[in-house]
Amino acid sequence: MEPIVYVLDEQVRDLLTHLTSAGTLEEGVAFGFDDWTVFHAYTEKPFTTPSGIVCPCFAVRADTAGMVDETRLTSSVRARTDLSERPAVVLVVDTHSDGTPQCRALIVSHSKMAAADTRFVPRRSELYSRNAGLLETSALAAKKVVVVGLGSGGSPVALDLARAGVGQFTLIDFDRLELGNISRHVCGINDLGRYKTLAVRDQILQKNPYASVTTMEVNINQALAPVEEAVAKCDLLIVASDNDQSRFNLNQMSLNHNRTALYGRAITRAAGGDVLRVRPWTGPCYNCVFSSGLIDGREEEMSQKRQALAVLPAYVEEDKANAMIQVGLSSDIAPIANMMVKIALLELSRGQETGISTLDEDLKADFYIWANRREEAYAAWPLMNYKWTRPSILRWYGARVERDPQCLVCGGHLKADTPLQGIVQ
């Protein structure tokens, strides 16, 4: 099989603008896979963390006739680098008569030189060709999503939105990836120790190299102003954080700026979970649902000690905090993340005729409940069996929740523009 070399379309275009004379070698870097049968070649710094085995890469411009002296080129490459352990990738770039970039790759080892099958990646038009008809991908590319919490819930949501073609992200989290996260996270061992924001950003760019991703490594409860600024500019707020204080703060921000927000969480041991959509001032806010009693007895999953200690009084023994850490499987989190993605795409596509528009007619509720197993809050649910008219595990249930007129966040009790003068001593 002929080796395959992938090169980034825009890097070849850039190369052609500054590599004006034929024969000059420009250095880059390549990464080889699978006994040197596949290479990813870069002429500039890769925009994501690359994988594979690093090997030399050179680029050269062909002469006016589109030719290059391969014997001389091979000698130059061998003189520049030691090829006894690994081959080098050489990119020969040129333009077609119609002005489009052209690139062919050669694989040069210490003993031979071979042509490779060269492929441009990505072409924006092809990137989301499989979504055509279902989503308006060009419109999604302009949408801005803020994702708060890049753990086992938020990271797959962010990644799936990138897969669907969403083009602009702000990722907010102050945690770093630890070994205990890996089994439920979209990132792996090679991201250990990194901020989750940066590791997920790289995953997003792997799926959508044209995405614009900004990151904020902050605790939102201590960085309210910059987070609110990001929320004010977004089209949709995704909340996958792990504490109520952050959700209350984000709820206020979504109301302040009239931004739709989606909240998702898993309950203890991920026996189930829920998803809430807040359409500011038209439906219930997070506080309306929280204080409605609907989530009483459905305690949030605690996946790390920091999370448990934050909600427990200081006198609670460490053993109790440790006992509260009861996590579920990645496959238990997946349905919750999946539901958030579906509602997110609906919200981001609102106002346009898409292949998923009928879903909007079904997803009338703002609050959805899911059960993975008959335990915890769902222990008394009937067996699934063959019945579909009774509550059962592994199905979504929409709950009708109205705005609470007594809600002290959105209920209209607060008189706007009330200066503090007169009540401060």
Partner 1 sequence: MAWTSQQSARLRLEMEILERYFPSFYLKDSIIPGRACVEGIIRSNSGAEYVVRLHVPADLPNSVPDLEIVSPFLHDRFGHSLVELGTSYPMHLLKPEGGLVRICHYSASHWNPNITFAKVLLKIRAWVEGYEGHIETGFPIDHFLPHMQA
- Binding site residues, partner 1, CB under 8 A: 221, 224-225, 243-245, 248-249, 252, 256, 287, 290-291, 299, 310-316, 320, 324, 406-409, 413-420, 423-425
CB of 44 to partner 1, least distance (A): 40
Among 253, 257, 251, 256, smallest CA distance to 284 is for 251
Which residues is 119 bridged to in the sheet?
Answer: 6
Among 179, 214, 217, smallest CA distance to 195 is for 217
Instruction: Name the 3-class secondary structure at 201.
Output: helix
- For 187-200, b where at least 16 C-beta lie within 10 A, e where not — what string? beeebeebbbbbbb
User: 175 or 347: whose CB is closer to partner 1?
Assistant: 175
User: 149 or 156: whose CB is closer to partner 1?
Assistant: 149
CB of 309 to partner 1, least distance (A): 10
User: 65 or 424: whose CB is closer to partner 1?
Assistant: 424
User: 305 or 320: whose CB is closer to partner 1?
Assistant: 320
Q: How many CB atoms lie within 10 A of CB 165?
A: 25
Residue 393 and residue 372 in contact, taking contact as beta carbons nearer than 8 Å: yes
User: 243 or 330: whose CB is closer to partner 1?
Assistant: 243
CB of 398 to partner 1, least distance (A): 23
- Residue 274 has phi, psi (to 5 degrees) of -145, 160
User: 380 or 414: whose CB is closer to partner 1?
Assistant: 414
User: 97 or 421: whose CB is closer to partner 1?
Assistant: 421
CB of 345 to partner 1, least distance (A): 29
Q: Which residues contact 58 (CB under 8 A, 6 or more apart)?
A: 25, 26, 27, 28, 77, 80, 88, 89, 90, 91
Dihedral over Cα of 343, 349, 351, 352: its sign: negative
333, two tokens: 């989190």
CB of 14 to partner 1, least distance (A): 43
Residue 366 and residue 276 in contact, taking contact as beta carbons nearer than 8 Å: yes
Helices (H), ranges, 183-317: 196-207, 224-232, 244-256, 286-290, 305-311
CB of 216 to partner 1, least distance (A): 17
CB of 217 to partner 1, least distance (A): 19
CB of 268 to partner 1, least distance (A): 12
User: 49 or 291: whose CB is closer to partner 1?
Assistant: 291
179, two tokens: 């070994």
Q: How far apart are CA 146 and CA 143, in angstroms?
A: 10
